[in-house]
């Protein structure tokens, strides 16, 4: 696919820049209390509504499902321009916008699409993800949350963990076990769970940064209509891999651009931090590592273009999403290590105690620790790359 910019695409960029320039001054700041998820939902969904009114919601979704039907290049231009303009991120809408919605487009029934896609695009409905379980670890297919067949419903009992923004979500993309007599990958089903059903209890988890976006979710005989099932019963592992391909392939696009901004800022910080008679910038090793990381982020941006093209062509990113996720987590870890080296003692506390930057490189370092775990651990990504790209034999499961 040719990803060079055409005259029409440059026109799209100019229009978008003009809209951002006129719109962003009226956008209020993020809520100061980052533990107030109700305020955060109001902020994020208001931005989503603005995008929808302007025709920029679901920019890469097909027009028949309410999106703009833009080309992969226009999608990338949108992400570049919004990130560089400092526009709000998807925030609490990330599950619905980035992988639940695309999964419904690929796998849901016409009725399910008609019910859910438009509210996601308007920002009316917020989704969360009920995949991870405390007893399954990295082996997601070992999940134990049980769904018992009872007439027109499934009766679901179990526990989920690391469920982002569950406290303010309207729906959950939920994985349940519907057959315990078959190999574990063959007894899983993907279900849409309304979050206002009886039997759901949410317990927030406080992170090391003091935020509370994560939660435990306890399910006690929750009755979920079978019409909420996406795909066939016991075919959930295949549907889940469709979700994963979006989660690992295109959901991190904005993070590549924000990482480039973070690295550029780190280079400026290196020129301010004093070292004896000079600054950290005088260290040739630091300058070299900054250059190497910058080149690797450029390479990740190119891989992103490839993955977006793949998703546009086939409906799924495929194993390229795992290659990206694995490489991105490694680059961010090395950026965090370099930040610690540059900051020295200032790197021991959250917040810029030396007035070096508007960005908090210490908080970013702590956030980096999640990247080898969230959306599938690095060990899982290595298994996928080894088996599906390199053709290595499958391990015992």
Strand 188-194 with 171-177, pairing: antiparallel
Sign of CA dihedral 374, 379, 382, 387: negative
**Which residue in 154, 92, 152 sits closest to 123, CA to CA?**
92
- Write the CA distances from 67 to 158, 161, 282, 393, integer angstroms: 35, 31, 49, 40
Render 182-243 in DSSP notation, one character per residue: S-GGGSEEEEEEETTSTTEEEEEE--TTS---EEEEEEEEEEEEGGGEESSTT-HHHHHHHH
Cα–Cα distance for residue pair 326/156, rounded to 1 Å: 33
User: Contact at 8 Å (CB) between 338 and 291?
Assistant: no
Per-residue buried b or exposed e for 170-191, using 16+ beta carbons within 10 Å of the residue's own CB: bbbbbbbbbeeeeebbebbbbb
- Write the CA distances from 17 to 13, 46, 85, integer angstroms: 6, 20, 8
Cα–Cα distance for residue pair 149/189, rounded to 1 Å: 12
Say whether 221 is catalytic. no
> What residues have CB less than 8 Å from 142, skipping those under 6 apart?
133, 135, 136, 184
- Which two tokens mark 3? 């990803």
Q: How many CB atoms lie within 10 A of CB 9?
A: 17
Q: Scanning the structure block, which residue is given the tokens 């908090």?
A: 360
Length of the chain in terms of residues written: 397
Residue 384 CB burial class (10 angstroms; 0-12, 13-18, ≥19): buried
State the greatest distance between any 2 C-alpha atoms of the chain, in Å, as a whole number. 77
Judged by DSSP in three states, 374 sits in: coil
Judged by DSSP in three states, 59 sits in: coil
Which residue is catalytic, options 83, 173, 213, 247? 247
Active site (catalytic) residues? 247
């Amino acid at each position: 696919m040719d990803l060079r910019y055409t005259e029409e695409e440059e026109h799209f960029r100019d229009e978008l820049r003009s809209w951002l320039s006129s719109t962003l001054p009226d956008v209020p700041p993020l809520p100061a209390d980052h533990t107030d998820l109700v305020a955060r939902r109001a902020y994020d969904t208001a931005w989503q509504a603005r995008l929808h009114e302007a025709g920029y919601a679901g920019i890469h979704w097909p027009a028949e499902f309410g999106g703009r039907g833009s080309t992969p290049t226009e999608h990338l231009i949108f992400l570049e321009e919004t990130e560089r303009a400092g526009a709000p991120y998807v925030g609490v809408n990330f599950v619905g916008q980035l992988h639940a919605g695309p999964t419904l487009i690929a796998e849901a029934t016409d009725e399910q699409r008609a019910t859910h896609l438009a509210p996601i695009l308007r920002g009316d409905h917020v989704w969360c993800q009920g995949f991870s379980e405390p007893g399954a670890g990295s082996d997601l297919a070992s999940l134990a949350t049980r769904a018992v067949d009872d007439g027109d419903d499934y009766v679901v009992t179990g526990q989920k963990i690391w469920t982002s923004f569950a406290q303010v979500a309207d729906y959950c993309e939920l994985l349940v076990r519907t057959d315990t007599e078959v190999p574990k990958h063959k007894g899983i089903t993907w279900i849409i769970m309304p979050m206002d059903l009886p039997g759901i209890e949410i317990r927030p988890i406080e992170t090391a940064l003091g935020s509370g976006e994560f939660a435990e979710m306890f399910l006690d005989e929750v009755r979920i209509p079978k019409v909420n099932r996406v795909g066939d019963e016991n075919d959930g592992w295949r549907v889940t891999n469709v979700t994963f391909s979006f989660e690992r392939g295109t959901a991190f696009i904005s993070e590549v651009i924000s990482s480039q901004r973070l690295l550029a800022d780190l280079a400026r910080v290196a020129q301010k931090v004093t070292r004896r008679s000079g600054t950290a910038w005088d260290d040739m090793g630091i300058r070299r590592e900054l250059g190497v990381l910058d080149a690797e982020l450029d390479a990740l941006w190119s891989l992103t273009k490839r993955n977006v093209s793949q998703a546009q062509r086939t409906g799924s990113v495929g194993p390229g999403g795992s290659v990206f996720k694995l490489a991105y987590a490694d680059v961010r870890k090395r950026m965090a290590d370099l930040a610690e080296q540059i900051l020295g003692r200032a790197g021991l506390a959250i917040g810029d105690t030396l007035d070096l930057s508007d960005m908090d490189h210490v908080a970013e370092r702590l956030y980096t620790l999640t990247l080898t775990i969230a959306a599938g651990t690095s060990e899982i990504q290595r298994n996928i790359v080894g088996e599906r790209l390199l053709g290595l034999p499958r391990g015992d499961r």
